[in-house]
Structure 1
Amino acid sequence: MSGTSEGRRRRLPRQVREQQMIDVAVHVFAKRGYHAASVDEIAELAGVSKPMVYLYLDSKEGLFLACLRRESGRLVDAFQGAAREGGSPELRLYAGLSAFFSFVAGHRDSWVVLHRQASELTEAIAAAVAEARRAVMTEVARLVRDGIAESERGDRLGDEDADFVAHALVGAADSLTDWVDRHPDESPERITLRLMNMVWLGMDRVLDGEAWLPQPQPEPQPQP
């Protein structure tokens, strides 16, 4: 009977077996952290031998990189797919950010791996994270530029300003995922709406020529 079971496992296509390993590994890395996670546990939960994990994915770092690339690819695809639907630039940005927060809410293990662990590890892992971030940043900056260009006051801001707003939006979205953990009743759409109101409306006021400057404080009066 065990031979039959082993035969079934061997007959699975490599790509399917590899995805099973990655499914398990994402959960284990999220639960235990990179350093505490063991390849033995991942192999056992995936129903494969430890040597097979190394044969397919080379090393523990290779396994983590496979998790990182697959989950970051899913996140980027979700954002870009939503942001490329029809409508104005701000509506597409709203759709993309909503998809981002929906991914984070629906794939907590993936986000723990991407957001909380990857930046603390090797250069290869950090580079994979940076590549995914650049893909999202490029899309956001393009939408911001389109929004500025379509505005009647678009001559007030340029590419550098669009890049600045894009970094502010992506940075805020990243940090808000920790806030989301403490506010599980907040929907992805509601979070996105609040973020858009804070950042997009602020940019709109700048396009209208408003600017905040610190006001000089009055000198303290000497005590009599």
Structure 2
Amino acid sequence: MAGGAKARRLPRVVRERQMVDAAVRCFARHGYQAASMDEIAELAGVSKPLVYLYLGSKEELFTACIRREAGALLAAVDAGVGGPEVPPDERLWAGLLAFFTYAAEHPDSWVVLSRQARTQGEPFAGEVARMRDEIVGFVAGLIGEAAGEADVVITGRDVDALAQALVGSAESLASWANETPGVAAKEAAATLMNFAWAGLGNLMKSERWSPR
């Protein structure tokens, strides 16, 4: 028996990952208030006292979920985007594709970030806001670069407004795509890219943006 117990022991980092995985799943399905620490422990295959020992209270566990999932989303977008030698429109396309792909492949994570965390007030909403600010800053930088290359004068306020609008559209579209059967991440990314870069007027004339 003792040997069997030792065989089941896992490093703390592995156990914590299992607990956060289970918590993300539970919070996404039931919401923060209705999620049960008992169910999270059961899904993770550990005792409830061990969850409290490793990750603290329910609030601390939810915060850990938000931080991990936000970090993973930002890392996915960052990895998908090319360097400054890549044209701004191609970088935006790559970033959108990475964003929608992550949301599609990690639907529970996206529900936690886009819906659950924002509706629970602080400190959870602030965690998501920091992630969003980073994405908005990235998009604003691309818009500014594109304007500079086109020799177009655009105010910082307009750049910020456009970046906010594009990120807000991406968030809404990602949720819609995940809830609509048959909508692939690439299709959602292309829809927003054409709307944002080619413009609605050009789309009405069947003029679409496409990667080089």
TM-score class, shorter-chain normalisation, is 0.7 to 0.9
For each residue in 1:160-181, what CA deviation from the matched residue of structure 2 results, as whole angstroms up to 9, or x when unmatched? 2211111110000111123213
Stretches of structure 2 lacking an aligned partner (at least 5 in a row):
203-212
Following superposition, which runs of at least 4 residues in structure 1 exceed 4 angstroms of deviation? none
Identity of aligned residues (%): 48
**Is 1:201 aligned to residue 198 of structure 2?**
yes
1:5 Cα offset (Å): 4.1
Identify if the C-alpha distance between structure 1 residues 171 and 54 changes in structure 2 by more than 3 Å, giving closer, same or farther: same
> 1:178 & 1:126 partners in 2: Cα distance?
18
Aligned partner (choices 78, 81, 103) of residue 76 of structure 2: 78
Query: AA paired with 1:7?
Result: K
Query: In the alignment, what sits opposite 1:212?
Result: none
Aligned positions of 1:141-220 closer than 5 A: 141-152=140-151, 154-155=152-153, 157-202=154-199
> 1:203 & 1:142 partners in 2: Cα distance?
22
Instruction: Give the conservation status (yes or no) of the 8 Å contact 2:93–2:193.
Output: yes
Query: In the alignment, what sits opposite 2:31?
Result: 33
Query: AA paired with 1:74?
Result: A
Coordinate RMSD, CA, aligned = 2.0
For each residue in 1:163-208, what CA deviation from the matched residue of structure 2 results, as whole angstroms up to 9, or x when unmatched? 1111110000111123213433222222222212222234999xxx
> 1:122 & 1:9 partners in 2: Cα distance?
39
Query: AA paired with 2:53?
Result: L
Query: In the alignment, what sits opposite 2:133?
Result: 134
User: Which has the greater radius of gyration?
Assistant: 1
> 1:62 & 1:133 partners in 2: Cα distance?
21
Instruction: Give the conservation status (yes or no) of the 8 Å contact 1:80–1:136.
Output: no
Query: AA paired with 1:168?
Result: A
1:142 Cα offset (Å): 0.8
Stretches of structure 1 lacking an aligned partner (at least 5 in a row):
206-224
> 1:136 & 1:111 partners in 2: Cα distance?
15
SS where residue 123 of structure 1 aligns?
A: coil
TM-score for both structures, normalised by structure 2 = 0.87
For each residue in 1:81-139, what CA deviation from the matched residue of structure 2 results, as whole angstroms up to 9, or x when unmatched? 21234520011001001111111111111111111111111411111111111111111
> 2:13 & 2:194 partners in 1: Cα distance?
43
> 2:170 & 2:183 partners in 1: Cα distance?
14
Query: In the alignment, what sits opposite 1:17?
Result: 15
- Aligned residue pairs total 201
